[in-house]
Amino acid sequence: MSATAVHSLWTTAATAADPISKIDTPKIEYGQLAPTLIVVGAAVVGVLVEAFVPRKSRYYAQMFVSVVALVAAFATVVALAADGYGTTKAGIAAMGAIAVDGPALFLQGTILLASLVALFTFAERRLDPQAHGNPVDSFAAQAASVPGSESEQKAVRAGFTTTEVFPLLLFAVAGMLIFPAANDLLTLFVALEVFSLPLYLLCALARRKRLMSQEAAVKYFLLGAFASAFTLFGIALLYGYAGSMSYGAIAQVVDGSVVEVTPALADTMGNDALLLVGGALIVMGLLFKVGAVPFHMWTPDVYQGAPTPVTGFMAAATKVAAFGALLRLLYVVLPGLRWDWRPVMWGVAIVTMLGGAIVAITQTDIKRLLAYSSIAHAGFILAGVIATTPDGISSVLFYLAAYSFVTIGAFAVVTLVRDAGGEATHLSKWAGLGRRSPLVAAVFAVFLLAFAGIPLTSGFAGKFAVFKAAAEGGAAPLVVVGVISSAVAAFFYIRVIVLMFFSEPRPEGPTVAVPSPLTTTAIAVGVAVTVVLGVAPQYFLDLAGQAGTFVR
């Protein structure tokens, strides 16, 4: 298009007959977008609750709003799926911005259930003894007060609690619901920021070890913003390459099956540098979010410093959302480029699996250990992503669902083991835990065995599905590396179990707090999902199999 013609786009409009009537009303399918809208609406209500409800009853009001919203949103997802939006009626809603299809609904359901369980751990108020007659949760009395200062003590004495965590959680969940369903690059970027920004704040809100918590938040924020700037530049380059933001249109240009080629598009279409660099930058941003090597440096520090309920939520839900978006990007936008991205992803998957498993061996802090374990798991899931087959999609969906509940359960157990300084996260303090409180240790052992992928746990079913898909997709060497790193990883999981059950408890060791029904529910759901998905995975594998088709 010539320069004058471009200029006319925004200068000649006034002389046209009736420019206003030419704007079509956007068509929004509110029913299909209901899960996200419910959660966003509840988050806004949560902000209003902060403003208008008296401090004493805020906690209960926030709990009520959040639980109702998450349950209602999950019910809507199930209703949409039952109505066939996951299979036959799958389509694109909101003027091309959001896809409503099998993977989107499956992942949204997983995120909502995982968030509901994580919400219970957020709301736990019985682990610490009451301070000045007020119940205490895992979050700072007043985030703005300087740690150790007079104002912090005043806030604690007055019984303040940061009930803002509930709306923050809901905003993050809303972003995560959109992220795997985003069908154009702008929606992808906005969703990325919508779920990241609340997470940065949540990381800074720990009640104990506040300096570490703030440090974790700064690291997460600076690195996260850095990564999203790269993503945005990648989006700019892909937009420049294809002249459009929508996944379908970009995919057509990548395939070379585009119908109408304007001169400008003909110029940029031939420029593979734009496509390759742009695609690589976007994928890099997503790999940062899933915590794949070499973009994993933030993971251990942030997982260790953040309040443990937040860590559990982040480890589970962020991974589900980010892998969903990565799958959609690679399978819908860039399938025409798979001979270019597959070798790169091979490399990333191999170093992620091996790196996560090997570095985890040297860890002495339980939260850091779980962080490296989550890096290794990101590698296993990437093996399924690389398969580029329908089985690859469904196995990744199943793995994500299985993994998220194990993770939340494991971090919920970590919140229970406490000493005078809050949570006792150093591994040496966990010695002999099995003798002192066999039930907690046994539950944690179940989660560790699931992480290790021992048969009859969900971890085994997930790993088997992912590796099977990878082998059939022509990535057999990846499976070999995956099995080797699983064996390495099993070593340190088993080491923790041995430490808990076969070593003498230390006299000054930690105590195990008796939680309220909230955390008990979270842990029980974790164990139940782990066992059910391990013993009878077929129904859920079939469900993931039915959900495994992207709409384009």
Partner 1 sequence: MNPVNYLYLAALLFTIGATGVLIRRNAIVVFMCVELMLNACNLAFVAFSRMHGNLDGQIIAFFTMVVAAAEVVVGLAIIVSLFRSRHSASVDDASLMKL
Residues found near partner 1 in the complex (CB under 8 A): 1, 5-6, 9-10, 143-144, 146-148, 186, 189-190, 193, 197, 200-201, 204, 210-212, 214-219, 221-222, 225-226, 229-230, 232-233, 235-237, 239-240, 243-245, 262, 264-265, 267-268, 300-301, 304-305, 362
Residues 323 and 367: their CA atoms lie apart, in Å, by 22
Of the chain, the end-to-end C-alpha distance in Å amounts to 28
CB of 422 to partner 1, least distance (A): 15
Q: 219 or 495: whose CB is closer to partner 1?
A: 219
CB of 546 to partner 1, least distance (A): 35
Q: 121 or 246: whose CB is closer to partner 1?
A: 246
CB of 3 to partner 1, least distance (A): 8
Indicate the helix (H) or strand (E) that contains 100: strand 98-100
CB of 204 to partner 1, least distance (A): 5
Residues 166 and 386: their CA atoms lie apart, in Å, by 36
Q: 80 or 204: whose CB is closer to partner 1?
A: 204
Residues 138 and 44: their CA atoms lie apart, in Å, by 23
Q: 235 or 387: whose CB is closer to partner 1?
A: 235
The answer for 312, left when phi > 0, alpha when psi is -120 to 50, beta otherwise, is alpha
Q: How many CB atoms lie within 10 A of CB 154?
A: 13
Residues 157 and 135: their CA atoms lie apart, in Å, by 11
Q: 128 or 365: whose CB is closer to partner 1?
A: 365
Rounded to the nearest angstrom, the gap between the alpha carbon of residue 106 and the centroid of all alpha carbons in its chain is 14
Q: 90 or 253: whose CB is closer to partner 1?
A: 253
Q: How many CB atoms lie within 10 A of CB 318?
A: 23
Q: 33 or 204: whose CB is closer to partner 1?
A: 204
| Residue 434: closest CA among 445, 448, 423, 425 | 445
Q: How many CB atoms lie within 10 A of CB 54?
A: 7
CB of 203 to partner 1, least distance (A): 8
CB of 200 to partner 1, least distance (A): 6
Count of alpha carbons within 13 angstroms of residue 371, beta-carbon side: 26
CB of 246 to partner 1, least distance (A): 9
Q: 124 or 184: whose CB is closer to partner 1?
A: 184
Q: Are 449 and 493 in contact (CB under 8 A)?
A: yes
Q: How many CB atoms lie within 10 A of CB 431?
A: 19
CB of 164 to partner 1, least distance (A): 12
**DSSP codes, 124-157:** --SSSPPBTTB---SB-S-TTSPTTSHHHHHHHH
Residues 395 and 541: their CA atoms lie apart, in Å, by 8
Q: 144 or 420: whose CB is closer to partner 1?
A: 144
CB of 277 to partner 1, least distance (A): 10
552 three-state secondary structure: coil
Residues 331 and 390: their CA atoms lie apart, in Å, by 10
CB of 174 to partner 1, least distance (A): 14
Cβ neighbours of residue 157 closer than 8 Å, sequence gap 6 or more? 131, 132
Residues 486 and 109: their CA atoms lie apart, in Å, by 28
Q: 253 or 417: whose CB is closer to partner 1?
A: 253
